[in-house]
Each structure stands twice: as structure tokens, then as C-alpha cells.
Structure 1
Amino acid sequence: MNLTSVRIITARVEELINFYEQVTGLTAVRYTPDFAEIKSKTATLAIGSTQTLQFFGGDLVAQPAYNRSVIIEFQVDDVQLHFGKLGAFLENCIVQEPTMMPWGNKSLLLRDPDGHLVNLFTPVSPEAIAKFNNN
């Protein structure tokens, strides 16, 4: 089994698409005004409006902007360089500037417009580099 996609349900589709396009440097594929995907080589981040909940049983299936336990993570080549390039765009999003983690990654922690935590990280220690080179 492979994890293929994570979907965020939101009432702010365009804001989230803009945020994730800016942060990842990837372009979203917009299938409808209510659904888009940002595809990387290893997984897809899907963004669906609250309207898409009708296909899954109704409005109570998921509540937008309600998560406080999941961190969406993106591996980047150089988190410090990425941080510098995004500059002012990140001003109101930063939870923690690039910081060395005990498990060997340098991480930048952000919040998207719905409040989801987003971690941009670069493996730095030999162990972390080896771990991600094996995937």
C-alpha cells in the first residue's frame, strides 16, 4: 500500500491553492472551481471546497479549518534558501524559522490560511540524508 494523496477541505479554495503554489513552487491542476491538486513526484496534496463533501455524505463529514493535529510536510533541497526566497510572503505564516531538529532535519514550520501546520524541511545529518535517499 502507498500513501497517494492528502486532501484538505476548505471554504477558502483559492487562498489555499495560492499558499501551496507559493510555498512549494508547484502549480495546482484545477479540475473544477471546487477541486485542485498539487502533485509532487511522491504524493499529491488535494484541495477541495466544502461543496465536495456532498459526494462523501454531507457537510458533517469534515469541517474546514478544524485540524490541530496533522503536519503537512514537504522536503525541499535547501530550506534556508527557500525561506529567503519566500521572504515577505511568509511573514504572517511563520510558526518557527528554520531550525535544526534532533532527528537531523532543518525545518521551517508554517501555518496555511486555514491554520494547518506545514513543515518545509531539508535532511542535513548523514542519517537523515540516508533515510530520504532510500525512498
Structure 2
Amino acid sequence: MKVSQVRLFVPNVRECLLFYRDLMGLVVLHGNENTPYAEFQTGNINIALEPLLVSQPNEVLRKPHAFSAHDQVAIIFKVDDVDATFEQLKSRDVEFVKEPHDTPDWGHRVAYLRDPAGNLIELNGGN
């Protein structure tokens, strides 16, 4: 068994598509600004976006918040240079919840941001 895709259920597919395509620079495999879905190439495991499968009003949905233990999932992007990727994304007005820093226990350099749906994203420069 192999993981082939991570599917994110988001309140606004278009907003997240623009974030992952235009700001994060991911290659779109399927979908566009007018489709109710999107899929991005990210190596061996793709990321897909679909509308939420809940019938709750948007006010009840989780809002983006600072880095915390309340997250149930994080998307980890392995990058060659966390600081260079951080600077590149900052130049595109991407907001970070934690700037690049070392994690001595793990031997990685990391930075954290969120997509428009509030999903936690880690940039990871570890081995």
C-alpha cells in the first residue's frame, strides 16, 4: 500500500488553488479557478482540493490560528534551503506563523505557514 494523494477539504477551493499555484508555485495537474476541485503535483504524493463535506455554516469552520497543538494534520514540504524558500514566499506576501528556526532534537531547519483554509504547512530542510 502506498499513499498517492492527500486530499484537503476546504471551504473555498478557488482561494486555496490560487494559494498553492500562484504563491507556493505548485504545478496544477487537474482543475482551474472555475472547477470545484484541483490537484497539484508535489513529487510522489499529490495534494488535491475539494469542497468541504460538512453541512455547517462557514462561521463554525475552523479559522486560521497561530501555530498550536490543536492541528490534526500538517503538510510537510521538503525543501533544499528553508531560508531561501522562506524569503521567496515572503516576497510573494505569504504570511508565516513561525519563521525559519532549527529543531536540534530532530536535526532539521523548519518554518511554518498556513493555507487559506487554515491547514498547517511546514517547510522542512532536514535530511
User: TM-score, normalised to structure 1's length?
Assistant: 0.72
Change in CA separation of 1:77 and 1:121 when aligned onto 2, cut-off 3 Å: same
The structure carrying a bigger helix percent of its residues is 1
What is the identity, as a one-letter code, of the residue corresponding to 2:43? K
Could you say which residue in structure 1 is the equivalent of 2:19? 19
Alignment RMSD: 2.4
Could you say which residue in structure 1 is the equivalent of 2:100? 98
**Counterpart-to-counterpart distance in 2, 1:8 and 1:94:** 20
Change in CA separation of 1:22 and 1:104 when aligned onto 2, cut-off 3 Å: farther
2:114 corresponds, among 98, 104, 111, to 111
Matched, 1:48 2:81: no
Structure 1 unaligned spans of 5+? 54-58, 124-128, 130-135
- Per-residue Cα deviation, 1:30-76 (whole angstroms, up to 9, x for no partner): 347011111122201001123xx4xxxxx46xx99548311111101
Q: CA deviation at 1:24?
A: 3.7
8 Å contact from structure 2 (residues 24, 89) kept in 1 = no
* Runs (4+) off by over 3 Å: 63-67, 88-91
**Counterpart-to-counterpart distance in 2, 1:65 and 1:90:** 25
8 Å contact from structure 1 (residues 36, 46) kept in 2 = yes
- Per-residue Cα deviation, 1:65-108 (whole angstroms, up to 9, x for no partner): 548311111101111101111124345x3110011113011111
What is the identity, as a one-letter code, of the residue corresponding to 1:112? D
What is the identity, as a one-letter code, of the residue corresponding to 1:13? V
User: TM-score, normalised to structure 2's length?
Assistant: 0.76
